[in-house]
Amino acid sequence: MPEYFDFERISERYKAQKEFNGNIIYSNLFNSIIDMFDFGGLPDSIDKTMFFRFLYSNGMCAIPLTEENPPVCICSRGGDINAYGYGDRITAVTQNGKSYSGIVGEDIALFKNNTYMYPEFYLLQTVDLLTELYTSLKCNIINSRLAPIGKAKTDADKAAIEKAFIDIYKGKPATVKNADLFGVDGDIIENFTKPEHAAYIPYLSQLEDDIMQKFYYHYGLNLNNVNKRAQVSAEEIQGADPLVWTVPLQKLSELEKGFKVLRKKWSNANVKFGSVWALEYEKFKRSYTQPEEQENGDQNEEQNNEDQSEEENENENNQNS
């Protein structure tokens, strides 16, 4: 049976293709957000990429303080359970099977991805959406190709039509001698696809832009500042800025708790926003502090003008007296 009739094989091939696309998308998005934070003052053994790989995949990770050059570990909590259900001990494991155990905040530093210690579900959700989108985009691209199918009564007619196609694709004029071809019911050529559906492809492309915009908005980069839609006012964009920083600031706060423990052993250990996020955060802070400073400046200038006017009036009255 020809491959194009083997639907089971086609299904498996496209399933593998979707998984491949999903891995590419995940890699690209993951690589773009691990630079949200920069580390400093730590041993070279602490790999930043692996740190965020474990943190985003498991919701938490750990670094033991019992070695001079410790690894980043996958971890779980145990020991004595407090009132909120969290154990006071950590069991941490490396990729090669080495294990560590210690008390949270003393022998081992615990890092939370968020307050709930959940994995990075929003990243996975975005990967799923984009994977489906690219599947739709590919289907639309293929379906909008010109795919003419010739209809013939005989083998000779078939050969004549196929030769005409070859000549046309080479840019040569084509002539079919057998006039009986025109006796075929309907048109000689049927379009197997819908080339006019190419008009819908830009909508899918715009949807991709919207999904990516929402993704980076979630992680602190307001792309509306770069590409404002016609329906969105400048005031609405400005008003949305505080929400942009909710997640990054929460993540920074949780990371700082872990780094506070690391400073017991490495006093210069520090975490801060990466260069792009730091620049955008400074812009955000200035956008909210400058208007207030300007308003205070205007009020001071107005008060100075009033004082000056009162002084001039007083001098004028004294002169008249």
Buried b (16+ CB within 10 A) or exposed e, 255-283: beebbebbeebbeebebbbeeebeebbee
Q: How far apart are the first and last CA of the chain?
A: 116
26-30, 173-177, 208-212, 272-276 — which is least confidently predicted? 173-177
Residue of 257, 291, 287 whose CA lies nearest to 271? 257
User: Tens of pLDDT along 117-140?
Assistant: 999 999 999 999 999 999 899 888
pLDDT value at 172 more than 60: yes
pLDDT value at 34 more than 60: yes
pLDDT value at 183 more than 60: no
162-176, 270-284, 286-300 — which is least confidently predicted? 286-300
Average model confidence (pLDDT) across the chain? 82
